[in-house]
A and B are shown apart, each in its own frame.
Chain A
Amino acid sequence: MSKSRRRDARPTKQILSRTLVLMVVCGVLAFVALGAQLFRIQILDHDELERRAIAQQVREITVAASRGTIFDASGTVLAQSASVENVFISPADIYYHQEDQQLIARGLSRILEVDEEMVLERMQNIASQFQTIRNHIDRDMADEVRAFIVEHDLKSVHLQPASQRYFPRERTAAHVLGFVGAEGTGMGYGVEGSYDNYLTGINGRVVRLKTSTGVDMLRAGYEDYFSAQPGDDLHLTIDVNIQQIMERHIAQAVQDFDLRNGGFAVAMQPHTGAILGMVSLGDFNPNSHGRLSEERMEALRQRFPDNDEAFWAAVSEELENSWMNKVTGYTYEPGSTFKLVTFAIALEEGIITMDSERTFYCRGYMDVRGRTEPLNCWRRTGHGALNMRGVMQQSCNIGTVTLAMEVGPDVFFEYLRAFGMMETTGIDLNGEGLGMVWSEDTWNFYIDNNNFSSLAAASFGQTFTMTPLRMATATSALVNGGYIVEPFVVEQVVAEDGTIVRANETRVRRQVISRETSLAVLDLMEASVGDPVMGTGRNAYVQGFRIGGKTGTTIDTVREVQYGVTEYILSFVGAAPIDDPEIVLLVSLQDPGPNSSTHPSGGQMAAPVVGQMLAEILPYLGVEPRLGTEVQRVNVQVPYIRRRTVEEARAELEAEGLAVRIKGEGERVVDQVPAGGAVVVAGTEVILYLDNSRQEEMVTVPDITGMNYPEARAALEANGLHVRRSGTVAEHDAVRVYSQSRPAADVVRRGTVIQITMIDTTRDGFF
């Protein structure tokens, strides 16, 4: 009993009090400490920890903002983005999930039209989770891939949305547009580059929860969508019709004159500065800007048969050259086209007036202080006595230099500055070049040392350089009342909802000459084109319109210094209509080759190109032809007139400026020669058959090279052939057939249209 009582002893006071202490420690203090720690983590550090947690828990999927569309002035789409998809595989997953390599490679190669070996090769890198198989596939192809993935329950083949830039007009206005890189952003070139921040928009993103292994969580308790904000659209000042007219004619010139270094052209609204068209050759296709054509690759490969490095260097050099916009990036000596500026300075400074009786005597050379040799006129035999208008028409160097000398070096230099020769034009495109012009110190150094050779050369556009665009803006100032305007290619930037984000308006930098002087210069320009005997620019003449302009012929000094080759640059800058110019058009052709029989001169090569362009552009711009004259369209399109009555057919053809001859008996037209849609010179006789009497007949093409136009046309029509005319539209006896589309002695079907290219063959050229 006593033992039992001892064993069942009650807890002592000490045990109880110590138990109480332990109870407080274990049941209260410990939990206060834990509670405090939880409070710190869950309340005080909550934001920071949650941010870090979410950062690791979410996967962001970027939703690419669609890039803005680029429209021309008439609303034609020039660049557009389409949603496409990229296909990539994860070799790591193929390895991990033991998927069938052969099956995947075969399937993808079939659907995506890619090399099966390539797919297999990319699968070998099993450490990689991302190997691109093909980019930019369309929806149909992507759907096929999706079906393939589902069918075989593949975990290693993935699709990724992307955006593809399409340039539906291919090469048209390529340099104005530029291109986008693999990331779909502008690469600096064209408006794709300079307006990239407008075009890009803001990418959206989908935020989704993922497990630590990257798979979507079972339940999407946390998902956020930030919608993409599409990029803004661009509306260009470029008109695709004008652009294509310019491109077509300059391409023709490349053929006609065997131009080995292409050329460039720019059309500008002289009052506003809006660029209407801008061409630079060699060009590129912005849809495939990173690839040279097969034939160019082949040519380069043959040049560097064993040297891969040199080959690829040449490829990339050629690509980069093709991307350069010569109008804004290339600098050249403007040559005689710059004489217009010298005349304007002289007129503005009152050195001479339009009514002046003063004559300049050109012996073919003159002495210039500071020059060891006499300065030659382009016509070595001399122009003889010329008045102001004559100096202009004949592009006489001696007369021009005389005027510049009288203006004086200080004033002349100030005008160079005023016309903007020391600054960029401010066009809204990247990469604008700045020419090489004397610094004020250098200029003064020559003058102080009694050396006027710089002034003399400058007066006719040599020994300093500028961009073609600079020349166009200077010319615009000459014809718009004297204002230097900043050229621009983007009219408006419009957001998706139609708000105008940015509108480019005409910005006038300064007035450099008076309105009177401007009118006088226009008068001089017209004298150069309009005089069919004396004018060096007469090949730019278009019947029915008042066109003015100035020729220019220089040597590419950069190429001469670098490579020691003589390459001509043939230029013509025109303005029309003279009474209120709507367009200034500068065309330059580079390096005519041996296959061009004509003497290389701006008046013979560039002027006719400008004339051809203006003949099409002016009516398009709505310029009314001169009062009392009817515009004679050189070529017309033959209408489709089968099944019409004779009366209807005759009326329609005569309205188009075509003559009519009826053959056979009947009431309605059964057949016609030339066929509907053919383009022939106006006045061509269209033969209408009223019965089935038409017989196929073969004829021989005559040799018409060297004939003048009436002779050539008569010769062709005598053989039952029709004529389409190209080349210069000027009419004088030196204009001769330069080439014919079918060679002499070819046997062709009667009624075939032969295109003949007319060219001014005056021997000493028009500089």
Chain B
Amino acid sequence: MTSNARQMQAETFAPSARAQAQATPAPRHRPRQAAQTARRRAPMDLPFFLLVLLLLGIGVIMMFSASFASAFYTGGNPTFLFVRQSGFAIGGVAVMLLASFVPSNVYRRFALPGMLFSIGLLMLVLLIGVEGGGARRWLSLGFTTFQPSEFAKPAVVLLFAHMICIYKENMRTFRYGVLPFALVLLPIVVLLMAQPHLSASIIILALGASMMFIGGTRWGWFAAGGAALLGAGVIVVTQFSHAVSRIQVWQDPYSSPLGAGFQVIQSLYAIGSGGLLGLGLGQSRQKYLYLPEQHNDYIFAIVAEELGFVGSMLILALFAILIVRGFWIALHAKTKFASLIAAGMSSMLAIQVFLNVGVVTNLLPPTGISLPFFSYGGTALMFQLACMGVILGVSREIPAKKEG
């Protein structure tokens, strides 16, 4: 019986046949203990890789469609942004593939230095950052600029995964399960708010919370943290007028159709115009200088306008499957650390997609968050793809197992 089963499996999972052959029967969904023998890299998770490529392809094409009109009317070369973004996409895919070959435990060594470097960058940006839109968020590399906050996100994932691995059972205590994490998040958020960069702060906080949640911090702390944030939010909203207007615009964008509500309204017009099947690829009308940031933070509105409910749901479904697959890789990861970083990177993707689409559809109050793979921005795209590469790296280490 066993030998029969073994034989069957050998035929079905040819690539990991050797590992399987030496394995003894083990419970399902458990990483194989013999993984350390597989020093040769297993193949990466193909579904995840293909989903990334698919979303990236759609994203670049939609970015082209969304940016075409504004590039044309602002007198530039209509294909300039497209060509540039395509270049970054290709480079990003290369980075992703490279990252997929890095063993996950290598990152552990970079967890603390990475965070220190990241905080260093965040301090640097306050000093020599490039200013735009009233905020100092970018560092110039000469040929391009990038946001250090992009670097801070994976740094948080790595460091927290590392800390969770160290604290283990102590995660249930306040001293280990909450305090150190809070002490890491605090300087990052303070530095981000100094830029100011609210949306990155939110992402970092959500990301940190997700990691702590997986790590085993008690539920009660999340309730307490949530309550504290809510309380702080209420104070801010009632004390600071710009926050009041933000909430007001969220509740009723038509209250200031030419002011703060303008972008939301234009976004809703675009999405609503799409209807069930959309106006067709390239047929968006709102991109003709009506919708600001149409190839950036609000690109999803153009996607929804051109591809309709069916198309935009399909893209969201692709994102959802990708995220679920990312978590699936985390669940099957060989080590605790690998599992944590895969889950962290997946959460990061999910948080960004949810916040972006939530803002564009006015489910959430307006704030500037880009949509992974879609929004224009070379370095951000490369960071995202690198993070996907980390997940792929984790997937390579998944020991083959008997079934599904």
Partner-B contacts on A (CB < 8 A): 7-12, 14-16, 18-23, 26-28, 30-31, 33-35, 37-39, 41-43, 45-46, 48-50, 52-54, 56-57, 209-213, 215, 217-219, 221-222
| Minimum Cβ distance to chain A for residue B376 (Å) | 20
Q: Mark B308-350, 1 if CB is under 8 A from A, else 0.
A: 1100110011011101100110110111110110010011001
Taking a contact as CB atoms under 8 Å apart, the answer to whether B309 and A8 are in contact is no
Taking a contact as CB atoms under 8 Å apart, the answer to whether B350 and A26 are in contact is yes
B168 cross-chain contacts in A, Cβ below 8 A: 12
Q: Does B57 contact A (CB under 8 A)?
A: no
Q: Mark B193-221, 1 if CB is under 8 A from A, else 0.
A: 00000000000000000100111100000
Closest to B169 in A: A12
User: In whole angstroms, what is the CA distance A31 to B73 when docked?
Assistant: 35
| Minimum Cβ distance to chain B for residue A22 (Å) | 6
B353 cross-chain contacts in A, Cβ below 8 A: 30
Taking a contact as CB atoms under 8 Å apart, the answer to whether B214 and A27 are in contact is no
User: In whole angstroms, what is the CA distance A302 to B94 when docked?
Assistant: 92
Taking a contact as CB atoms under 8 Å apart, the answer to whether B327 and A11 are in contact is no
**Taking chain B's interface residues, is the majority helix, strand, or loop, or is none over half, making it mixed?**
helix
Contact of B340 among A15, A31, A217, A219 (CB under 8 A): A15
Check A218/B357 contact, CB under 8 A, given A52-B269, A53-B270.
no
User: In whole angstroms, what is the CA distance A27 to B351 when docked?
Assistant: 10
User: In whole angstroms, what is the CA distance A39 to B316 when docked?
Assistant: 12
User: In whole angstroms, what is the CA distance A57 to B347 when docked?
Assistant: 39
User: In whole angstroms, what is the CA distance A219 to B330 when docked?
Assistant: 47
Taking a contact as CB atoms under 8 Å apart, the answer to whether B73 and A215 are in contact is yes
Taking a contact as CB atoms under 8 Å apart, the answer to whether A213 and B304 are in contact is no
Q: Does B285 contact A (CB under 8 A)?
A: yes
User: In whole angstroms, what is the CA distance A43 to B327 when docked?
Assistant: 31
- A and B contact pairs by CB, cutoff 8 A, 7 listed: A8-B105, A16-B331, A18-B213, A27-B346, A30-B353, A38-B361, A56-B290
A7 cross-chain contacts in B, Cβ below 8 A: 105, 108, 165, 335, 337
Contact of B327 among A9, A19, A34, A35 (CB under 8 A): A19
User: In whole angstroms, what is the CA distance A209 to B285 when docked?
Assistant: 8
Taking a contact as CB atoms under 8 Å apart, the answer to whether B316 and A218 are in contact is no
Contact of A35 among B268, B313, B336 (CB under 8 A): B313
| Closest A-B pairs by Cβ, 5 of them | A49-B272, A26-B350, A23-B327, A53-B269, A27-B324
Q: Mark B248-288, 1 if CB is under 8 A from A, else 0.
A: 00000000000000000000111111111001000101101
Q: Does B146 contact A (CB under 8 A)?
A: no
A27 cross-chain contacts in B, Cβ below 8 A: 320-321, 323-324, 327, 346, 350
| Minimum Cβ distance to chain A for residue B318 (Å) | 10
A42 cross-chain contacts in B, Cβ below 8 A: 271-272, 274-276, 304, 308-309, 312
Q: Does B365 contact A (CB under 8 A)?
A: no
Looking at B273, B304, B339, which has the most chain A CB atoms within 10 Å of its CB?
B273
New A-B pairs, 13, CB < 8 Å, besides A22-B347, A41-B361, A211-B290: A16-B339, A22-B214, A23-B324, A26-B350, A27-B323, A28-B320, A33-B354, A38-B313, A42-B309, A42-B312, A46-B274, A50-B275, A57-B288
Q: Does B289 contact A (CB under 8 A)?
A: yes
Taking a contact as CB atoms under 8 Å apart, the answer to whether B290 and A37 are in contact is no
Q: Mark B16-54, 1 if CB is under 8 A from A, else 0.
A: 000000000000001100001000000000000000000
| Minimum Cβ distance to chain A for residue B275 (Å) | 5
User: In whole angstroms, what is the CA distance A34 to B335 when docked?
Assistant: 33
A53 cross-chain contacts in B, Cβ below 8 A: 269-270, 272-273, 285-286
B276 cross-chain contacts in A, Cβ below 8 A: 42-43, 46
Contact of A49 among B36, B268, B319, B336 (CB under 8 A): B268
User: In whole angstroms, what is the CA distance A48 to B269 when docked?
Assistant: 9
Taking a contact as CB atoms under 8 Å apart, the answer to whether A18 and B214 are in contact is yes
B69 cross-chain contacts in A, Cβ below 8 A: 211, 217-218
User: In whole angstroms, what is the CA distance A37 to B359 when docked?
Assistant: 11
B321 cross-chain contacts in A, Cβ below 8 A: 27
B214 cross-chain contacts in A, Cβ below 8 A: 15, 18-19, 22
Closest to A39 in B: B309
A15 cross-chain contacts in B, Cβ below 8 A: 164, 214-216, 336, 339-340
User: In whole angstroms, what is the CA distance A226 to B319 when docked?
Assistant: 44
User: In whole angstroms, what is the CA distance A39 to B321 when docked?
Assistant: 19
Taking a contact as CB atoms under 8 Å apart, the answer to whether B272 and A213 are in contact is no
Q: Does B91 contact A (CB under 8 A)?
A: no
User: In whole angstroms, what is the CA distance A56 to B328 when docked?
Assistant: 46
User: In whole angstroms, what is the CA distance A31 to B356 when docked?
Assistant: 12
Looking at A12, A28, A30, A57, which has the most chain B CB atoms within 10 Å of its CB?
A30
Q: Does B358 contact A (CB under 8 A)?
A: yes
Taking a contact as CB atoms under 8 Å apart, the answer to whether A26 and B351 are in contact is yes
Taking a contact as CB atoms under 8 Å apart, the answer to whether B290 and A212 are in contact is yes
| Minimum Cβ distance to chain A for residue B129 (Å) | 31
Contact of B357 among A11, A19, A34 (CB under 8 A): A34
Taking a contact as CB atoms under 8 Å apart, the answer to whether A43 and B358 are in contact is no
Q: Does B363 contact A (CB under 8 A)?
A: yes
Q: Does B72 contact A (CB under 8 A)?
A: yes
A54 cross-chain contacts in B, Cβ below 8 A: 273
User: In whole angstroms, what is the CA distance A695 to B118 when docked?
Assistant: 121
Taking a contact as CB atoms under 8 Å apart, the answer to whether A34 and B358 are in contact is yes
B216 cross-chain contacts in A, Cβ below 8 A: 12, 14-15, 18
A56 cross-chain contacts in B, Cβ below 8 A: 269, 290
Looking at A42, A43, A56, which has the most chain B CB atoms within 10 Å of its CB?
A42
User: In whole angstroms, what is the CA distance A42 to B274 when docked?
Assistant: 6
Taking a contact as CB atoms under 8 Å apart, the answer to whether A46 and B272 are in contact is yes
Closest to A53 in B: B269
Contact of A31 among B165, B319, B362 (CB under 8 A): B319
A33 cross-chain contacts in B, Cβ below 8 A: 354, 358, 363
Taking a contact as CB atoms under 8 Å apart, the answer to whether B316 and A35 are in contact is yes
Looking at B69, B286, B336, B347, which has the most chain A CB atoms within 10 Å of its CB?
B336
